[in-house]
Structure 1
Amino acid sequence: MSYTLRATKREYNNWKKAFNKKKAAPEKPDFRRIGLMDPSIGTSNMGDFIIQDAVKSVLRETFPDSFVSTFPTQLSRKMDSVQLMQDQDVIFIGGTNLLASNMEARFQWKVTPIDSYFIPNKMVLFGTGWWQYQDKPNAYTQNLYSGLLSKSLLHSVRDSYSRDMLKSIGIENVVNTSCPTLWNINPAHCKSIQTSKASDVITTLTFYNKDFKQDAAMIKMLQQNYDHVYVWIQGFEDMEYLHQLAPDMKKIISVHPDLHFYDEILKRHNDIEYVGTRLHAGIRAIQHGKRTLIVAVDNRAQEIGKDTNLNVIKREDLDRALNFVTKPYVTDIQLPVDAIALWKNQFNKTSF
């Protein structure tokens, strides 16, 4: 049974037998059961925790009387998890770049046709994005998404590119809400962010998408223009990469690889701003009211920047960073507020 991919024939038959023997569902309780596919479970990327912080905040606001259960996206699941997922009224896919055009080869979101069989059309995208710029989804991926994703509820994606990719395969019930990490950054918040350069800067690197020449130039530019350069270690190998880029560590202070320590720097340091390659580290800085420039290393920041006026430059255009460093910059995030309201309000009108 090649279509089951990694699952063996025995596993599939056992799962099917358990599904067929499942007893009738008990009487529906007074509260809804909400499932959340959580990319931060088992992650080595602290940015996933920034996303989940926002996702869970919105779920608490939207479903205050519901019971939320979390399940991993990046780890394989067995039948006990699948049975629990069957009991959920709806299952949200909580952000990150989990979508791809070749899901048979891209296993960041570990779903297969088995999930389509046992949990058909129960999943709702929530601020989810496309992995990279790709060709139109292949037949396997089209069938997988058609079997997994709700056909009656609106899906939320984090950029126009992701929306258009889904629409290209006939999934029309989708809106671009941008990333939920931005949803609370309103005009009043933007106005509270200072426009002039800070004395210190906090930055990040992206070890899995290196450009030694450009990344070294960024670190050097920061060393030349700021009193101190804090480096938050967001990914597992970022520190090793930092030592390659700046072996003398001049002016550089490393920040421990935990969201708590990053938040502490942003909270207690009044004269610091962000310039770095990690998208959600930059958004977190804006959440804390810090002037921010994101140096994009892939499609995610570029696409969100196009849609929301998030301050993003391509890594190959690093010379533009000096404009941010030397001149005033006004933060002016523009959110798709109507699309956000449309997606959230649908849950006031449905019982799933």
Structure 2
Amino acid sequence: MIVHADPSIGSDNTGDAIISHYVKVELKKLFPQDHIVSIPTQTMTVSRRLNSLLSNARGVVVGGSNLLSGRYPRIRQWANMCVFAPHRKKVHLIGCGWHSYEKRNLPLNTLLLRAALDKGGVHSVRDSYTKVKLAENGIRSWNTGCPTMWGLSGSYSYKSESTVGRIIVTLTHYRKDVARDTALLAYVRSLGREIYFWPQSPQDTVYLKELCGADSTIRVLGEKISCVEDVADSSAIYVGTRLHGAIHLLNRSVPVFVVGIDNRAIEIAHDTGLPLIDIWNPPSGLPIETAIDITMPREEIAAWRVTIRKHIDG
């Protein structure tokens, strides 16, 4: 049995569900004979059953999402970190990231991280910044990028202006910037295509209404991944702030333009070439016809896969 510490359990964020989907696909490939059991990371759940699962697991894989921080317990993305401490020898990260740009750790934070993550563990992180932050806490890792991107590689062509019929848009309610997000919506409206808003939490839709009221030109989709897949056809492009929604669409060959609003998109773009768009200086009209070149750390991904199999299988 392999335990997957899953950030999507108890989360209303579709981005967490996207990450969880790709992580589970990877775990099933790595350990095809094992039962994969999911447990939460975002709740303070402590129970005899949870401890039993951790005790009986051959390996515990945590990820992905931005679970790590130098401000724990003030920032509790990995809310039940202490539950993993007795089992740290078999706890491994997959594609985890640092919560935000941070200058220093809170007191005792290094001890808390080391209690949950053995420095000899097989830890995969999503970007170079996270790798540096873990190293500052005495924990070695591979920068493999986010597992949502492990299937991406090479060049992805943009569409010509004449073939673009619809634009999928996202906003992020917990990173509000009214001026920036108003500019984003104004830019998308200026392109004169069908607009579909893909909320990734109920609060995203509330925020959209705060910005533009009941705008009949913007069609609001459901929050499920399947809802956007129904409109992500060959005429669609994506412009928005939601990172993993963008990556999921890129996996479906939809050209994406991400508005970087925090360290996640900025650092991943720096490492992989994921295209960002400066909403304060957007292109005139639709993006030009050029290719998206995605570069993934194939050697690191392969090394992590081999090492975690050896570590868990013995």
TM-score when normalising by structure 1: 0.84
The reply to whether residue 260 of structure 1 matches residue 221 of structure 2 is: no
The reply to whether residue 179 of structure 1 matches residue 143 of structure 2 is: no
Check 1:324–1:140 CA distance in 2 against 1; reply closer, same or farther (3 A cut).
farther
**Counterpart residue number, 2:235:** 271
Which secondary structure state, in structure 2, belongs to the residue aligned with residue 208 of structure 1? helix
**Counterpart residue number, 1:301:** 265
Provide the C-alpha distance between the structure 2 equivalents of 1:181 and 1:169, rounded to a whole number of angstroms: 26
> How does 1:1-352 map onto structure 2 within 5 Å?
33-77=1-45, 78-116=47-85, 118-172=86-140, 174-187=141-154, 190-191=155-156, 193-197=157-161, 198-266=164-232, 269-313=233-277, 317-322=278-283, 325-350=286-311, 351-352=313-314
Q: How far did residue 142 of structure 1 move? A: 1.0
In the alignment, is the contact (CA less than 8 A) between 1:86 and 1:119 conserved in 2?
yes
Q: How far did residue 128 of structure 1 move? A: 0.2
In the alignment, is the contact (CA less than 8 A) between 1:92 and 1:125 conserved in 2?
yes
Q: How far did residue 113 of structure 1 move? A: 3.8
Instruction: Give the unaligned 5+ runs of structure 2.
Output: none
Check 1:324–1:128 CA distance in 2 against 1; reply closer, same or farther (3 A cut).
farther
Q: Look up the equivalent residue of 1:296 and give its one-letter code.
A: G
Check 1:330–1:82 CA distance in 2 against 1; reply closer, same or farther (3 A cut).
same
Q: Look up the equivalent residue of 1:286 and give its one-letter code.
A: L
Which secondary structure state, in structure 2, belongs to the residue aligned with residue 134 of structure 1? coil
Q: How far did residue 120 of structure 1 move? A: 3.2
Provide the C-alpha distance between the structure 1 equivalents of 2:260 and 2:268, rounded to a whole number of angstroms: 10
Tell which deviates more after alignment, 123-132 or 320-329: 320-329
Q: Percent identity?
A: 31
In the alignment, is the contact (CA less than 8 A) between 2:180 and 2:280 conserved in 1?
no
**Relative contact order (alpha carbons < 8 A, sep ≥ 6): 1 or 2 greater?**
2
Point out 4+ residue stretches in structure 1 off by more than 4 angstroms.
none
Q: How far did residue 264 of structure 1 move? A: 1.8
Residues 219-263 of structure 1 show CA distances to partners (whole Å, capped at 9, x for unaligned) of 111111032110001122111111121225142111111111112
Q: How far did residue 47 of structure 1 move? A: 0.7
Q: Look up the equivalent residue of 2:6 and give its one-letter code.
A: D
Q: Look up the equivalent residue of 2:128 and give its one-letter code.
A: S
Which secondary structure state, in structure 1, belongs to the residue aligned with residue 28 of structure 2? helix
Provide the C-alpha distance between the structure 2 equivalents of 1:160 and 1:45, rounded to a whole number of angstroms: 24
Check 1:282–1:323 CA distance in 2 against 1; reply closer, same or farther (3 A cut).
farther
Provide the C-alpha distance between the structure 1 equivalents of 2:19 and 2:136, rounded to a whole number of angstroms: 26
Provide the C-alpha distance between the structure 2 equivalents of 1:56 and 1:196, rounded to a whole number of angstroms: 35
Provide the aligned length of Structure 1 versus Structure 2: 310
Aligned-residue RMSD, C-alpha: 1.7
Residues 268-291 of structure 1 show CA distances to partners (whole Å, capped at 9, x for unaligned) of x22110000000111011011011
Instruction: Give the unaligned 5+ runs of structure 1.
Output: 1-32
Check 1:324–1:124 CA distance in 2 against 1; reply closer, same or farther (3 A cut).
farther
Check 1:56–1:255 CA distance in 2 against 1; reply closer, same or farther (3 A cut).
same
Higher alpha-carbon Rg: 1
Residues 152-201 of structure 1 show CA distances to partners (whole Å, capped at 9, x for unaligned) of 332100000000001012112x01000000010122xx34x444242210
Q: Look up the equivalent residue of 2:280 and give its one-letter code.
A: D
Check 1:98–1:215 CA distance in 2 against 1; reply closer, same or farther (3 A cut).
same
Q: Look up the equivalent residue of 1:94 and give its one-letter code.
A: G
Q: How far did residue 41 of structure 1 move? A: 0.6
Which secondary structure state, in structure 2, belongs to the residue aligned with residue 98 of structure 1? coil
In the alignment, is the contact (CA less than 8 A) between 1:201 and 1:226 conserved in 2?
no
Which secondary structure state, in structure 2, belongs to the residue aligned with residue 347 of structure 1? helix
In the alignment, is the contact (CA less than 8 A) between 2:183 and 2:280 conserved in 1?
no
Which secondary structure state, in structure 2, belongs to the residue aligned with residue 102 of structure 1? coil
Provide the C-alpha distance between the structure 1 equivalents of 2:94 and 2:287, rounded to a whole number of angstroms: 37
